[in-house]
Chain A
Amino acid sequence: MKGFLIITALGIIAMLLQVFKLKKLLLPITVLGILTAYVFNFLEWNQPFSISYFENMIAFDKVSLAFTGVILATAFFWFILASKSYEGEESMIDHFALVLFALTGAIMLTSFKNMTTLFIGVEIMSIPLYVLAASRKKDVLSNEAGFKYLIMGSFASAFLLFGIALIYGASGSFDINEIRAYITANQGELPSFFYAGVVMMLIAMCFKVSAAPFHFWAPDVYHGSPTLITALMSTIVKTAAFAAFMRLFLIGFAGVSEIWTGILVVVIAASLIVANLTAAVQTNVKRMLAFSSISHAAFMLMVILANVRSSLSVNAILYYSLAYSIGSITAFGVMHRVSRNGNETVDSFNGLSKRSPFLAVCMTIAMLSLAGIPITSGFFAKYFVFTAMIGTAHKWLLILAILTSAVGVYYYFKVIIAMYFKAPDTTVELNTDSSGNLVVLITTIITLVIGIVPGYIAEMFTS
């Protein structure tokens, strides 16, 4: 909770810095703030029980603290990565403040206990992102991204709200634990509009995690937004959305799983096929990563589909989020360095192994991790999904996942082949950015370390 408050306060402090013209202090204060939030987060971890606040609206149990940890870690790297490229810009403070507010929403999503906090969290996280997506004012693509995101996002929020209303109508409560109790008490005689509400919420959540067929916004928004904002969307937003998804469906609606698993199977199958096949033909790396993020969403949804409300699912999703976020930060960090003149195609990576072996090796490891090759963390992430799925009735989804993973290798390796095989374009200079290098190095090391020693995260929850 204290971490949550600190992040909220940080956003406001950042805006005050603008007023007092203390722009130089922005980065140190943000980074220190996040570290402090992390420390408090860690201290709360050692408390034996979860504490709920505001009439049980929000509660920080171990699960939400763990996801908050992932989000804060990603944010920490993001701010260091972003500091250099926003340095000269006037709008730096606005950017940072908006990101901090989005972070507030994300943390809220990991810890909601009540449907209203869920909705507020989604909105607090999304609205800054609509603005950030459109933040390159003079770029048509960026404007399109912001606009599309806003329209589609609002549409999803409407679904979410309508679903919440229907469920409230049936159960008379916003509290997810009470809804759970209501389902158990009225098993077999639930009103049909309750089911409609569950389905509507499922659709809204699928939109937020960009699973097919609700994914159409993702490629354009990822492509049009500034690279760093895309990095933010594919890491922090994804992690938060999955934490919320898991809490909602594995706690709130676990009792009516026969309603939503059927739909989820179709969503997962569609996401795997559409995302991987479309990603394979992309030439723009950002679009490719957008489609790949849809495929990763499908993998995480498989854990939810397995519907084992045990430590195994939580560990699996937590590990997957962390592995995916860290790998993405490396990939976007390198990409941000490579694509200087607005060239974001695979060609911009040509001959990187000769221009900067360091970046090429880091990018290779990130790509191997996203493709799920041992001994990177991405492999263990996929492995946990496989073990969760193999006990269920949907084994064919697993086969589909394997087939599409092989396609996945194709597009990740396009980048690797470009780096090691194609001749470099020497006319474009790589910019020097030592803090960016540091972030890429550290995230690469994390990818390898949690890939070799996955125990710390994979065994975080034992009961």
Chain B
Amino acid sequence: MLAGLLIIFPLLSAFLVFLLKGKGARNAALALSVGQLLLSMFVLFQFKHNPASAQLFLNCTWVKTLGIHFSVALDGLSVLLVLLTSFLVPLVIVSSFKNNYERENIFYGLILLMQMALVGVFMANDGFLFYVFWELALIPIYFISLMWGGENRAKITFKFFVYTLFGSLFMLVGLIYLYNHTLNINGEKSWALQDLINAGHGLSEAQQSIVFWMLFIAFAIKMPILPFHTWQPDTYVTAPTQGTMMLSGIMAKMGTFGLMKWLLPMVPLGLDKWGGIAIALSIVGVVYGSCIAIVQKDYKRLIAYSSFAHLGLISAGILSATEQGLQGAVVQMLSHGVNAVGLFLIADILLRHTGTREIDKLGGIRSMNGNFAVLFLIIMLGSVALPLTNGFPGEFLLINGIFQYSPWWAAFAGLSVILGAVYMLRSYQGIMLGEKKDSQIAFGSLDGSDKAVLIIICAAVVVFGICPKAITDIAEPAVKSILENIK
């Protein structure tokens, strides 16, 4: 029942917020999202004490003759991502306090609606339900970007929408194909995850290859992975900051999550045959994205490319199908989610205080606001993966996993750490250090809401940097069961 509540609560919250007006909508959205966070923490508590508790599962029939169930379940992987979502959404809402959007009730309602869909994706235990939530998550973010986005938004958000929809239709066909091969214990077709996995194992190599690509394209577009990334930088830059946070912090994780929980266990032969090419695409994307990030002038665009590079590394780690790779992916998914929200907020703060995000025009902000410089530094170092920050254990495990798959690819992937340090440190230097380049620019003290969000994120960066075991312990059984399905 708790599992169902995790989905219903944000849904009801969204409708409530739609009905309110002005600042009331904003405050209610914050309060309700904190409520969801408390609920998720309670679920985590339950999960740690009794992972098999009936509270964590829900299974109702949806369309009987087609074997479709409203079936949700929490395993180690789901519970962590649900927690990430519930942790980030309140931060996203607080970070918007200084933006003063029009029609706030719609804005915050859509964010909560998106939260509902994201939680649904992470918890779905039925292929059809997974697809439905997957698509549902797209609609609120489309409207958020369309209605509150920046320049040229109609064109860019539309490209984003069609691109991802296109991918997910392939996924739907791939899943229907698997569904057609299922046969559960009652001799009926079924959409349940385990039945789909069994059906996948029964297919020939050629059939598995088809399914592999159908699903991989959908996930690759969502993350994104080279060459399906062309929607991403423009969309991240154009969307309002909060939309970008949702996109990069949580929505991109839908892709990696899908890869891990839905693609990997389903088609072992397909993975054997094509995994290498998929890893190659991911890693080439990592290096490519990092190189482009180095030459970016707009800080928000730079983070967009860095996000692209990080997700590529996560994908490569998952596709290596090793325990370290998967564990690293889980840790890095959470760390990147937190760090991305922090970095995009910093880009937004820069814009609000100085009127520009161009690295060339900024400089010397440290001398104007030392606190901001420290907070920025910590989050930036987390993204660079300095030891004792949250970026380090994830990246270390990921490269370790890729090394077990192929040392050469690991060497290549290792470049991402170096290149990441290059663009992150260079941009920090350009923005915060040195001389003030434009005397017009003044940078006063931070607003309370921004400060609160940055401090919380910095705390997370340090805590999970020192103690990543808290994450890996929870994820371990889920990772092991995925790997068992591959062998």
Contact = CB atoms under 8 A, between A and B. Distances in A.
A357 B170 CA distance: 33
Interface string A386-412: 110011000000110011011001100
A402 B171 CA distance: 11
Interface string B144-185: 001100000110001001100110011011001101100000
Interface string B112-147: 000000000000000000011001100100010011
Interface in B13-31: none
Given A374-B136, A455-B64, A459-B64, A421 B147 contact: yes
A373 interface: yes
B63 A459 contact: yes
B442 interface: no
Contacts of A458: 63, 65-66
B153 A421 contact: yes
A195 interface: no
Contacts, number: 67
Given A391-B180, A406-B166, A455-B62, A374 B135 contact: yes
A278 to B, nearest CB: 18
A386 B176 contact: yes
B169 A402 contact: yes
Interface string A416-457: 010011000000000000000000000000000000001100
Q: How large is the interface on B (under 10, 10 to 19, 20 to 34, 35 or more residues)?
A: 20 to 34
A154 B134 CA distance: 48
Nearest to A402: B169
Interface in B248-283: none
Nearest to A418: B154
Nearest to A315: B65
Contacts of B169: 402, 405-406
A398 B176 CA distance: 12
B173 A386 contact: yes
B139 A373 contact: yes
A413 B155 CA distance: 11
Contacts of A402: 166, 169-170, 173
A386 B172 contact: yes
A406 B139 contact: no
B124 to A, nearest CB: 13
A387 B135 CA distance: 18
- Interface of B: prevailing SS: helix
A156 interface: no
Nearest to B149: A421
A366 B366 CA distance: 52
A270 interface: no
B173 A374 contact: no
A375 interface: yes
A360 to B, nearest CB: 11
Contacts of A373: 135, 139, 165
A368 interface: yes
A383 interface: yes
Of A383, A398, A420, A462, most buried by chain B (CB within 10 Å of CB) is A383
A413 B161 contact: yes
B161 A409 contact: yes
A420 B176 CA distance: 34
A104 to B, nearest CB: 34
A462 B162 contact: no
Nearest to A364: B143
Given A373-B135, A374-B135, A398 B161 contact: no
A368 B143 CA distance: 13
- Interface of A: prevailing SS: helix
B162 A406 contact: yes
A112 B66 CA distance: 30
B117 to A, nearest CB: 10
Contacts of A403: 166
Contact of B154 (A375, A421, A455): A421
A410 to B, nearest CB: 6
Nearest to B169: A402
Given A373-B139, A402-B173, A420-B147, A413 B158 contact: yes
B139 A368 contact: yes
Contacts of A410: 158, 162
A266 B166 CA distance: 24
Contacts of A386: 172-173, 176
Nearest to A462: B65
A386 to B, nearest CB: 6
Contact of B165 (A375, A406, A417, A462): A406
A459 to B, nearest CB: 5
Contacts of B153: 421
A391 B173 CA distance: 12
B161 A375 contact: no
Contacts of A399: 173
Contact of B173 (A368, A379, A398): A398
A379 B62 CA distance: 15
B146 A390 contact: no
B176 A387 contact: yes
A413 B159 CA distance: 11
Interface string B289-326: 00000000000000000000000000000000000000
Contacts of B165: 373, 406, 409
B81 to A, nearest CB: 21
Interface in A144-195: none
Contact of B146 (A417, A454, A455, A459): A417
A390 B132 contact: no
Contacts of B139: 368, 373
A239 to B, nearest CB: 22
Contacts of B179: 387
Contacts of A409: 161-162, 165
A406 B162 CA distance: 6
Nearest to B63: A455
B62 A421 contact: no
Contacts of A462: 65
Interface in A233-264: none
Of B143, B146, B165, most buried by chain A (CB within 10 Å of CB) is B165
Of A374, A375, A383, A417, most buried by chain B (CB within 10 Å of CB) is A374
Contact of B176 (A390, A413, A454, A455): A390
Contact of A390 (B136, B161, B177): B177
A375 B177 contact: no
Contacts of A406: 162, 165-166, 169
Interface string B214-253: 0000000000000000000000000000000000000000
A73 B480 CA distance: 54
Contacts of B64: 455, 459
Contacts of A420: 143, 146-147
Contacts of A387: 66, 176, 179-180
Given A390-B180, A454-B63, A455-B64, A421 B132 contact: no
A406 B173 CA distance: 14
27 contacts: A368-B139, A373-B139, A373-B165, A374-B131, A379-B135, A383-B176, A386-B172, A386-B173, A387-B66, A387-B176, A390-B176, A398-B173, A402-B166, A402-B170, A403-B166, A405-B169, A406-B166, A406-B169, A409-B161, A409-B165, A410-B162, A413-B161, A420-B143, A455-B63, A459-B63, A459-B64, A459-B65
Per CB-CB distance, the 5 closest pairs between chain A and chain B, nearest first, are: A406-B166, A374-B132, A402-B169, A374-B135, A459-B65
Given A374-B136, A421-B147, A421-B154, 13 more contacts: A374-B135, A375-B132, A375-B136, A386-B172, A390-B173, A390-B180, A399-B173, A402-B169, A402-B170, A406-B162, A409-B161, A410-B158, A417-B146
